[in-house]
Structure 1
Amino acid sequence: MKKFFAVAAAATLVLAGCVETKSEKEAGGVSESGTDEKPVIEVLGMASNEQDMNIVRDQLLKNGFEVNLNIQPDYGSFTSQKDAGNYDVAVSSWTTVTGNPDYAVRGLFKSDGASSVIADEKLDELIDAASAVTGDEAVEAYKAVEELLVFDQAYIAPLYISNKAQGIYSAAVNPDTVRLSKSRAQAWEKISFNDESLNASETLVLHQAIGSLTSLDPIKANDGSINTLNTNMYSRLVNLTDEDEVVAEDSLSYNFAMTEDNSNYYFILRDDINFAAVENGAAVDTGDLVSAEDVVFSLNRAKDPESVPDHRTYSLHENMETVEVVTDLAELESATTPDGESVLEALSNELPADITTLVASEDEVDNAAGNYQVVKVTTTQPFPQVLNYLAHQSGGIVSEQQVSSINTFDVASYDPNSDIAYGDQSTVTEGSSYDNHLFASGPYILVQKNDYEAQFVKNPAYRADSEYAPLIDKVNVRFIDDNDSALSALRNGEIHVLQTVPDTKYDVVSSDDNLTLKQADSNGVSYLQFNMSGRDVSESADLRKAVLYSINQQDFITYYQGNKKPAVSTVTPLVDTGLTFEADAEKVKEFLDAYAQ
């Protein structure tokens, strides 16, 4: 199959060499074949998206384009080709793991976004305006974003929304304990074997495709190699439920509250989580409380683009203006929430003891005696979506003492060949480079990894001796980059949970007596990203719109056996703007004619 498509792509390349260029046409030239020019579109994607690329190719050919397929074997080579600009459209996907629409657009489409190739001041203004409002105002604001992004400028062309499907080896693992969240990365601490007596002795084996870990420092990476791993290694101030509600449950906070102006956010911290470290291959309690000082340190570095080399997540946190420890109880009494109660009342729900004192130092913390730490985050503008970003893995709390002791280099002159940054995967890779310096504030800590798997153990100081302590002692994450191989491993019981079951293999899982298939809605959207630099599509909105209206989403839905849904943009799963998108051959012709003028 792959050989056939490679030949087809090569044939397209030969045909592309015979067509007249736009500049030749403007000069009155003709192609060698004597036919009118057909615009050539280069489609970039990974081998794992080959079927999507083939559907796009067929739709474009049908609508009068020539097509080159640039198929790359993996994400690294795909990224290299994209960075080099070797594409007209790139088959892209995005999952809004924070559950809020701002995350679905800010980093992708704002001029200063970490993943953006677009520079449009009007779009920037619309994204910023939408981020500050809620309810019906937010619906109208994101409708304006979609209208400009897709219909007015055709910066992207939507393909489909994916469903989520998870396969569980329920012959061994209790499927009721395995969460399938719409946005949040998989949480491990509640997973249990059917025979609970095995939780202390048996290893839970999970799966992910990518074995090369970008960084175990939560702010230095935001990709599929580390999102789930860092989510389980670092506590955050808040979490998301499976349905994307922001809650304090299983977080570092007992409760949180925001003021009625949507600009000040308060978090009251618990005192039953210490950092874990690794000594002689085992997790140990460092005795160091995960404290307000660590929170302030972590969030200040999260919002500072210069705090670490190659900071990948600062754009998620740039709307935090200040992060501080509150010691004045009167401030909590006078501040009012949108519901009209005081912040003190909102923070006081179901605590171990009533709040008597707010303390600045972790040495003074004693929740049972009424001594608490409270952290206040103030945003640069009204920005309720800050809570969703604090639930993201990049909001994970690291140890101020440990990170500061590792990151002693000058950030501006950082040399990855000689400087070792906190979270560098080399420090946990078995062999001569192994020197595990991780401090984990979450339920698990990574002990070591190799090319085959990463080995985690539970944090003995994470809510120890309570019902919230991790249930399974040891978790291995197996690296298998081929979906079919991963599915075979699940069926053989070699892995216990397959987080992503291919859309065309649902029946394989559901018909196996040893397996359980779980399904849920997702925030994952696939789309074509137009190259906005150095290509004809970069300069011509008409050409981009001709490509846009060539895309028939029903072809994708049919191929994936109804397991995809229509999309307009990455916002679609989060906000119903009322907009819809449909292929339109007449509009394709109209925009191609306009482009040819």
Structure 2
Amino acid sequence: MKKRLLSLLTLTAGVVLLAACGVQTEDQASNGNSAASTSETTAKNTIELLGTSSNETDMNIVRDQLIKNGFDVKLNTQPDYASFQTQKEAGNYDLAISSWTTVTGNPDYAVRSLFITDGDNSSMSNSEVDALIDEAALQTADEYTQTYKELEDVLVTENAYIAPLYTSLKAQAFNSELLKPDSIRLSKSRAFAWENVQFNDTALNDTESLLLTQTMGDLTSLDPIKGNDGSINQLNTNMYVRLVNLTDDDKVVSDGSLSYNHAIADGNSDYYFILRDDINFAAVEDGQAVDTGKMVSGQDAIFSLNRAKNPNSVPDHRTYSLHEHIDSASLVTDLAELENAQLSDGSGSVKEALEAGLEAPIAAVVEDAEQVDNASGNYQVIKMTTTEPFPQVLNYLAHQSAGIVSQEQVESINTYDIENFDITTDIPYGDQRTVTKGETYDNHLYASGPYIMIQKDDYAATFQKNPAYMAGTENEAQIANVTVRFIGDADSALSALRSGEIHLLYGLDETKYDVVEGEDSLTLQSMPSNGVTYMLFNTNGRDVSDSADLRKSILYSINQDEISSAYDGLKLKAYSTVSPLVDTGNELVADPAKVEEFYQNYLDSAN
């Protein structure tokens, strides 16, 4: 019997209509209200479209839409992400197929890194964009909708720095004959969590490996602050615990994190976290995960926060802009501070909020990690202060880049001179060379999360559970061993699932849902995601770099209804990367008349 689990997903009439939008009525065709406008099409520039082989469908659709509107198109198709990045950094594109998933569940993450001047992933600079991003960051949800609309107006409508394509569903498929369906989580934002997963035959949890897959095998870094991409997000999420977590529907909670509870004090600038004492760092000795006996402490958490916010703490820091609103972090040493500080919602004291549900109330707050004893009421409490009132900071603390590392271990490895760092001779903490089979292998990882990587090669990475991670609680890792296989081709990954070579496929193209539903042994989970696919314009050295009119001519060539139809109506409309989180009311409607108008403006300004 076919099985399908739908998490938070109902295919409403809106999605059905979206699928039907690719079919024009006679009135639409005659009145020019769709892509079939009667506007005369002129021959236009050659546009170089950069993407990977996994983007082939999108690239072909966009190519056809641009050609229909008079553009010539050169496809620059790269076999993998690394090659794509090389071409992108060399500037060999006019448009690059890009995607962004807001894995923190908050709209600031959807824009800051991508579009603010000097952002980790930004190639543009616009002072109005910068100001709107900063303005929205300080507003509450009922206030920032209008601000994000204005941001989209500047980013897309007025300047066409990006051309949005669609929002995707998030889906995964697993072998339900082997894995317990109710142990498999599908989260809107956070990467797939391994610790809950169990085999149907629980006796296999200790003897069999959970077999997973991901596209990229070349890992950016296993230091959580040095990578923010598909090569490490899932891996680092499962290797490093954080101060808070996201639920499957993007609520910030302490469940399964380093803190029992957290609290926001009056004024929305002071944040408190009461830490648990049942997590030690794991290390690897003789190919096995071992308990180091070293508790993940408040000192480690403060060290991790300070290096996360400091762009100069490591060479090639790729996530600092996510944490730039952290001003300071310290251990609370006076219990009276918690008693006197009131919650931001006025419901009581910070102490009362931190004590909620604890087996032992707070008897003392201690600074020395050796004095921590939760059972006796001795706790470490961290106070974090932001540069300004910024409740969205909690979402960033749930991101893998806020994973807690060992201060002692990281400092013992990172002994290089940062200003003179040389990647050919210096081996920083988290460098994949140290976990790769062969002469460079020297595993120096200290994992604070439920799993630690043992080793990797070109084909797979192996992990073992942290033996000292919340042992005896519901958050203890259930399966002892995990193998993540690197399979770059989506069809090959699906074939591996169907043949039993992997147990779960995280990330499934909408066009393959019917394949999974046709297999009795497989179960499909899907939900609307925070992932947006868009095209990024080259901002340097190309005609599109200098002309907003040329970019807008390309923008209005894009027909999102046609794109969704190619995916059986399962792609949702987007206007920017913030679309899945904030309904701004903006919508991109293909308009050949505007294509011609803006292209003529471009020609006029060029002459």
In the superposition, the TM-score normalised over structure 1's length comes to 0.93
Cα distance, 1:585 vs. partner? 1.1
1:29 aligns with none
Match of 2:220 among 214, 217, 221: 214
Is 1:339 aligned to 2:345, yes or no?
Answer: yes
Answering whether residue 55 of structure 2 is matched by residue 49 of structure 1, we say yes
Q: Equivalent residue for 2:555?
A: 548
Cα deviation, residue 356, structure 1? 1.1
Partner in structure 2 of residue 104 of structure 1 = 110
* Distance in structure 2 (CA, Å) of the matches to 1:101 and 1:331: 32
Distance 2:89 2:197 in 1: 40
In 2, the alpha carbon distance for the partners of 1:590 and 1:416 equals 50
Deviates more, 1:37-46 or 1:303-312: 37-46
Give matches, 1:115-130, under 5 Å: 115-130=121-136
Aligned twin of 1:264: 270
206, 223, 229: which is aligned to 1:223? 229
User: Deviations along 1:35-64, whole A, 9 cap, x unmatched?
Assistant: 976222111111111221111111111112
Question: Can you list the C-alpha shifts for 1:144-193, whole angstroms capped at 9, x where unaligned?
Answer: 11111110111111100010111101111112211111100000000000
Structure 1 stretches of at least 4 aligned residues deviating more than 4 Å after TM superposition: none
Q: Name the structure 2 match of 1:431.
A: 438
| Number of equivalent positions | 563
**Residues 1:366 and 2:373 aligned together:** yes
What is the DSSP-based 3-state SS (H/G/I as helix, E as strand, rest coil) of the residue aligned with 1:456?
Answer: strand
Distance 1:493 1:169 in 2: 8
Q: Residues 94-493 of structure 1: matches in 2 within 5 Å?
A: 94-340=100-346, 341-493=348-500
The runs of 5 or more residues in structure 1 that have no matched partner are: 1-34
Q: 2:224 is paired with a residue of what secondary structure?
A: coil
Give the aligned residue type for 1:53: M
TM-score by length of 2: 0.92
Residue 112 of structure 2 corresponds to residue 91 of structure 1: no
Distance in 1, Cα, partners of 2:396 & 2:439:
37
Deviation at 1:454? 0.7
Report % sequence identity: 63
- Cα distance in structure 2, aligned partners of 1:491 and 1:38: 46
Match of 1:531 in 2: 538
RMSD: 1.1
Cα separation, 1, equivalents of 2:338 and 2:578: 35
- Mapped partners of 2:569, 2:356: distance in 1: 45
Is 1:592 equivalent to 2:592 in the alignment? no
Aligned in 2, Cα 1:37/1:515: closer, same or farther, shift over 3 Å? closer
Note the C-alpha offset of 1:430.
Answer: 1.4
- Contact 2:120–2:321 (CA<8 Å) still a contact in 1? yes
CA distance in 1, matches of 2:49, 2:259: 46
Match of 1:581 in 2: 588
**Aligned mates of 1:313, 1:177 — CA distance in 2:** 31
| Counterpart amino acid of residue 413 in structure 2 | I
Alpha-carbon distance in 1 for matches of 2:441, 2:549: 54
Q: In the alignment, which residue of structure 2 is the partner of 1:68? A: 74
State the alpha-carbon separation in 2 of the partners of residues 467 and 348 from structure 1. 20
Shift of 1:467: 2.8
Aligned residue for 1:14? none
- Cα distance in 2 for residues equivalent to 1:484 and 1:364: 54
How far the C-alpha of 1:335 sits from its partner, in A, is 1.5
Partner amino acid, structure 1, of 2:132 = L
SS at structure 2 position matched to 1:115? coil
| Matched residue SS, 1:244 | coil
Change over 3 Å in CA distance of 1:37–1:509 after alignment to 2: closer
Amino acid of the structure 1 residue aligned with 2:455: Q
Match of residue 18 from structure 1: none
SS in 2 for 1:527: strand
SS in 2 for 1:297: helix
CA drift at 1:387:
0.5
Gaps in structure 2 of 5+ consecutive residues: 1-40
Partner Cα distance (1:452, 1:434) in 2:
16
Cα deviation, residue 493, structure 1: 1.0
Shift of residue 367 of structure 1? 0.6
CA contact (8 A) 2:240 2:405 kept: yes
Matched, 1:498 2:508: no
Deviation, structure 1 residue 71: 1.3
Which of 542, 560, 575 is matched with 1:568 structurally? 575
Q: 2-side partners of 1:468 and 1:273: how far apart?
A: 11
1:20 aligned residue: none
SS at match of 2:283: strand
Q: Deviations over 1:513-568 (max 9, x none)?
A: 01001111101100111111111111111111111111000111011111110101
- Structure 2: how far apart are the matches of 1:232 and 1:224? 14
2-side partners of 1:590 and 1:155: how far apart?
18
Q: Return the alpha-carbon distance in structure 2 between the equivalents of residues 42 and 486 of structure 1.
A: 29
What is the rounded CA distance, in whole Å, between the counterparts of 2:359 and 2:422 in structure 1?
47
Q: Is residue 43–residue 70 contact of structure 2 (8 Å, CA) maintained in 1?
A: no
Deviation at 1:260, TM superposition (A): 2.5
In the aligned structure 2, how far is the partner of 1:486 from the partner of 1:135?
39
How far apart, CA to CA, are the structure 2 residues paired with 1:357 and 1:141? Answer: 44
Select the structure with the greater relative contact order (CA < 8 A; seq sep ≥ 6). Answer: 2
SS at match of 1:145: helix
